[in-house]
Amino acid sequence: MDRPPSPDPGAPDGVASDTSSHRANGRYRNPWPNATPPTFRDVIAWRRTHTTVPRPRPVLPAPVPSAIAYPRAASGTLSATWVGHSTVLLQVGALNVLTDPIWSDRASPMQWAGPRRLTKPGVALDALPPLDAVLLSHNHYDHLDARTVRSLVQRHPSARWFAPLGVARYVRQWGARTVIELDWWNAVDFDGLRVACTPAQHASGRTPFDRMRTLWCGWALRSGPHAIFFAGDTAYHPEFAEIVRRYGPFDLCILPIGAYEPRWFMRPVHVNPEEAVQICADLAGAHPGHAPPVALAVHWGAFSLADEPMDEPPRRARAAWGDMGMDPDRLWILSLGETRRVSPNDS
C-alpha cells in the first residue's frame, strides 16, 4: 500500500503540491485493495436494471425550527444544525463552519434535469450566521454546487474555503477569495481552529471527461476542547483508526448513510448504514478511555441517488447501532434544520 505523505502544513490560499502518492497518470485513486470506483460501463449496466415498479411513498425528514446561535456561540460549546443532505452548520466555539453546502433544487449542472431535491433545506441561506469556514469534500454535484457557492461568497465574503487537491479552482472561479487546498493528512490552523484533510474512499468528476481528476476527502477539526470528524462521501476503508489516532478522539462524527444500493455498484464509493456504524465503532475503539463520539447521520433524505428506498438509511442505521450495543442517544438522525448541542457530558 502507498503511504500518504507525512503531515505538512498546507500553504494558506496556495495550491498544495501535486505530488500526492495517490495520484497516478493524472488521475487520483483510492490506494487500497478493491477500491476501484465503478466504470462508465458499470453505470450503463446499473441503469439497465432500473424498473419502474411503484414503491410506497417514503417518509422523508421533516423541518423543525433551528436553534442557531447568532451571530456566534459561546466559546467551549459545540453544536450542529442539519441543513439537509451533507450540509451541516457547525458552531464550534465562536466559529461558524459549514460542510458541503447545497441549497439548489437539483444536484446537477442544470436546474431542469438531474436528481431533484425532495426536501427543502432546513435552514434558509439568509438565516446562516457569519461563516468563518466552508469545508468541501469533493466535486460531485450534490456536494459542490455553483449557485450555492456564489450565493455564499456574496453573503460571506471573508469565509475561508477548504478543498481537497484540484477543487480550489472551482470555488475561486465562482468568487471565493480565500481558498485553501489540501492533500490527505495535511492541516492548517486559523483562529484557534485546526483543519486537517483526511483520506476517504470515493471518486470525483462532473463530466464524462474529468473522472478522478480532482481529489476527495474528509475533514477533521479541532478547536479548544472539541474535535469533529466529517467523513465526506466514503466507502469503508482501512484508515479510520489512523485518522482518529492523529486527530481524535472525536466528540462528533458526521457520517454518510445513504446512496448505497446496489452494493455491487456502490460498495467501492459509499458505505451502507452498517458500515457507517462500523466507522463510528472504529473511531470510538481507538480511544477506549474517552466517551464514544456522537454520530450525526447525513447524505440521505434530500436526493434520490441510488436504489434503496429513501427512508431506509436511518432505519438500518438505528438497527445496526442497536446491534452493536451502542447508546441510542448518541446516534443523531435529525429533522431538517434541527440543532443539537454536544453537551460537555458527551465528551
Contact residues: Zn ion, CB under 5 A: 140, 142, 233
C-alpha cell at 82: 442539519
Q: Which is nearer to Zn ion, 143 or 222 (CB)?
A: 143
- Please say which residue, 233 or 338, places its beta carbon nearer to Zn ion: 233
Of residues 279, 206, 273, the one with CA closest to residue 238: 279
Residue 40: CB minimum distance to Zn ion, A: 16
- Cis bond upstream, residue 273 (ω within 30): no
Q: Which is nearer to Zn ion, 148 or 223 (CB)?
A: 148
Return the C-alpha cell found at 145: 454546487
Q: Do the beta carbons of residue 95 and residue 108 sit within 8 Å?
A: no
Q: For the CA atoms of 258, 263, 264, 266, what is the dihedral angle to 10 degrees? A: 10
Q: Are 269 and 296 in contact (CB under 8 A)?
A: no
CB of 225 to Zn ion, least distance (A): 31
Residue nearest to Zn ion (CB): 140
Q: For Zn ion, give the closer residue by CB, 92 or 144.
A: 144
The backbone torsions φ and ψ at residue 75, rounded to the nearest 5 degrees and listed phi first, read -65, 150
Alpha-carbon distances of 267 from 100, 224, 276, rounded to whole Å:
22, 36, 12
Cα–Cα distance measured from residue 170 to residue 165, given in angstroms and rounded to the nearest whole number: 11
Residue 98 has a CB neighbour count (10 Å cut-off) of 25
Q: Minimum CB separation from Zn ion for residue 324, in Å? A: 25
CB of 259 to Zn ion, least distance (A): 6
Least separation in angstroms between residue 258's CB and Zn ion is 8
Q: Is the peptide bond before 249 cis (omega within 30 degrees of 0)?
A: yes
| Beta carbon nearer to Zn ion, 78 or 134 | 134
Least distance (Å) between residue 191 CB and Zn ion? 29
Whichever of 122 and 164 has its CB closer to Zn ion, that residue is 164
